[in-house]
Amino acid sequence: MEKILRVNMTTKEVKVEPVPEKYAALGGRALTSRFVLDEVVPTCDPLGPFNKLIFAPGLLSGTSAPSSGRLSVGSKSPLTGTIKESNAGGISSQKIANLGYKAIIVEGQAPTGEFYVIKITPAGAELLPADNLKGKGGYDTVAMCRAKFGEKAGVMFIGPAGEMLMANAGVGTNDGEGNASRYAGRGGLGAVMGSKGLKAIVVDSPSTFDVPLKDAERFKAAAKKFSKILLDHPVCGSGLPSYGTNVLMNIINEAGTLPTRNFKFGRFDKASNVSGEKLAEIAVARGGKATHACHPGCVMRCSNVYPMPDGKVCAPIEYESAWAFGPNLEVGELDDVAMLNWLCNDIGLDTIETGATLGVLMEAGLIPFGDGKAAIKALEEVYTGSPLGRIIGSGATFAGKLYGVTRIPAVKGQAMPAYDPRSCRGNGVTYATTTMGADHTAGYAVTANILKVGGFVDPLKDEGQIELSRNLQIATAAVDSTGFCLFIAFAVLDNPEGLPTVVEMINAMYGTDLTIDNVIALGQSVLKTEREFNEKAGFTKADDRLPEFFYNEELPPHNTRFTLKDELDEVFNF
């Protein structure tokens, strides 16, 4: 029977509750966002006692559905002040689901300076002191937890940045090999976890794919069919398994939408030096892996394992991270990019926000553009909590305001990822209007704008961008609720049998009779829930806009500006 684990960090009470009927059909993002709306005061201080942190596997997590092991983490964001769901791979989601938990809710606050571990096994859950883990980086935290609680345990953790309540701190998880590098990075939820006095959650389950199914044979047939749909698609079955997400580097650079030098240019002349092809070449030569699965059951295997010259291993370097520390900073040395990525994993920071913050500091003249070693030295300051370290840990918007920089590529306080909105306008619409600050995953219009997946919408024109972003945001909210990796969207958009097969798996698992329209309605309801929270928190349509410089500065090589303004208010007209 599915249940909810509720942990009160003030009283140290750990209790199991039945799942209320209104939550029974929800999972992943749909569930975390609903809990946040229902139980968190929208105007509360995100780092205060009235915020809550929710962990939820998706509707299909813990089954053999291919690439369905994603974990949703939800709360009110200290970075943006909005509702937030951040998504991660790793092995924890499937373990939580296999132990029968629909969600873990962490509330209250331990006394300042105290940190604890929640241990969850088939025997139950308990709260244990974590004095030995205080101040430890992500890699040591995971290694110590696995040594104590079992090598197959899933560990959800924070690094020093989370302990110091930095607004850019993420929640990390480990993969099957113990790499402490799968992050629910965006939105500062690691700071929320730190404010609770929670250093880690350790989940140990003997099974991975054994969640109960109403119709096992029907489910097995649908899962097998969906796996073939994914592997037959050129992106899911060829591009991603060959070079990982960083296969995008050369593609986006050629399209002239690769943000370079803090969103000054759309192309970087050293992009190939930090591309997926170059990464695969170096990783394999050093005994690493060009591709790697971030969670059990993933058929796309778009991650990687990159050994560095000093013996450290960064697993993985994703496209957005390679961009954030590469073209965005005009750094063309892959080992510098890898070290910056490794440091973020250990410190516990989101790579996109950290890269954007370093870019703003370079804009301010504190660090020279192109100087990877200086960027590494600056990032190491976060370990000590020095003034510069705290600035970096607070995000791009804070850093820009502190140094008087007006070219801050952020919306609602969250930095933009690796696609310039002036030459990928569908993504610009998503950045402006998503409920969680600038986020490419909320409605990945690169599909139709650049990759011509699911049709083609000219990235340099306004026509069709509102509808494209709207439809993708609805679909993404639904996908995030299932536990599926967002990259299944490439195949689903191009194959008419994709979405019906997803619905078939849900129906076979739960004994329901859902239709495609029900899945669309689920996505719409998630967005309505999140927008309701934001409105109660004080956000208005005026917050659904891009920074001024995107409207005023032309982006080479296309020499285009972003021109959609009032039209952005139409995105949620459904």
143 falls within a domain = yes
150 falls within a domain = yes
DSSP run (H or E) holding 200: strand 198-203
Q: What is the dihedral of CA 334, 339, 340, 342, to 10 degrees?
A: 120
DSSP run (H or E) holding 338: helix 334-347
SS3 content of the chain, % helix, strand, coil (to 5): 45, 15, 40
The pLDDT value given to residue 262: 98
pTM: 0.97
Q: Which domain holds residue 150?
A: 3-203
The span from the CA of 46 to the CA of 50, in Å, is 8
The span from the CA of 304 to the CA of 28, in Å, is 25
81 falls within a domain = yes
Using alpha carbons, select from 313, 316, 279 the residue that is nearest to residue 295.
316
The span from the CA of 427 to the CA of 412, in Å, is 15
131 falls within a domain = yes
At a CB cut-off of 8 Å and minimum separation 6, what does 414 contact?
77, 79, 80, 186, 187, 353, 395, 397, 436, 437, 438, 439
168 falls within a domain = yes
DSSP calls for 488-510: HHHHHHH-TTHHHHHHHHHHHHH
CATH of the domain at 196: 3.60.9.10
Label the pairing between strands 71-76 and 83-88. Answer: antiparallel
The pLDDT value given to residue 327: 98
232 falls within a domain = no
The span from the CA of 68 to the CA of 59, in Å, is 9
The span from the CA of 478 to the CA of 522, in Å, is 6
Owner of token pair 């369905």: 68
The span from the CA of 257 to the CA of 240, in Å, is 20
267 falls within a domain = no
Q: What is the pLDDT along the chain (574 residues), one digit of tens a residue?
A: 589 999 999 999 999 999 999 999 999 999 999 999 999 999 999 999 999 999 999 999 999 999 999 999 999 999 999 999 999 999 999 999 999 999 999 999 999 999 999 999 999 999 999 999 999 999 999 999 999 999 999 999 999 999 999 999 999 999 999 999 999 999 999 999 999 999 999 999 999 999 999 999 999 999 999 999 999 999 999 989 989 999 999 999 999 999 999 999 999 999 999 999 999 999 999 999 998 888 889 999 999 999 999 999 999 999 999 999 999 999 999 999 999 999 999 999 999 999 999 999 999 999 999 999 999 999 999 999 999 999 999 999 999 999 999 999 999 999 999 999 999 999 999 999 999 999 999 999 999 999 999 999 999 999 999 999 999 999 999 999 999 999 999 999 999 999 999 999 999 999 999 999 999 999 999 999 999 999 999 999 999 999 999 999 999 999 999 999 999 999 999 9
182 falls within a domain = yes
Instruction: Yes or no: say if 348 and 408 are a contact pair by the CB < 8 Å rule.
Output: no
And the tokens for 446? Answer: 């690169």
The span from the CA of 349 to the CA of 359, in Å, is 15
The span from the CA of 120 to the CA of 434, in Å, is 34
Q: How many domains does the chain have?
A: 1
